[in-house]
Structure 1
Amino acid sequence: MELAHLLGMHRNMLLSYMKYHGIECCYLALSNAELDQLIMQFKAAHPDSSLCYVIGHLQALSHHVQYQ
């Protein structure tokens, strides 16, 4: 987490503080069609990439998605 790095603490400690103070991480409302489009674009450019790379690409675009 970039915020944890900026604050000079481990991400687990930051998450713990956030939980203690009732601050939750939010997910953006991204439709299935939009998510499918992003994944198809990435897979077209990188056909042999695994799920880990797809998730990393989405996170780099500031799209944090749940694994389910």
Structure 2
Amino acid sequence: MLAENIQTGAEQEQQKGREEGLEEGERLRAEKTARNLISLNALTDEQIAQATGLIKSKDKGKRQQDVVVC
């Protein structure tokens, strides 16, 4: 019983780690997409934020560096 509880705890931690990794990957992909859209200079900050799920930068002069996750 103790061994089963330990294994179950380890499996839960592994699952949590996988989920965190997937979330981090999604965030990085959204940031990369936002940077690519910014470089095209065809969309507004609001449109980029809507398309990527990221929060728009408050300082328009620093658009490229200030990609912030909501």
TM-score normalised to the size of structure 2?
0.31
TM-score normalised to the size of structure 1?
0.32
Comparing both structures, which one devotes a greater share of its residues to strand?
2
Structure ID, larger Rg: 2
Comparing both structures, which one devotes a greater share of its residues to helix?
2
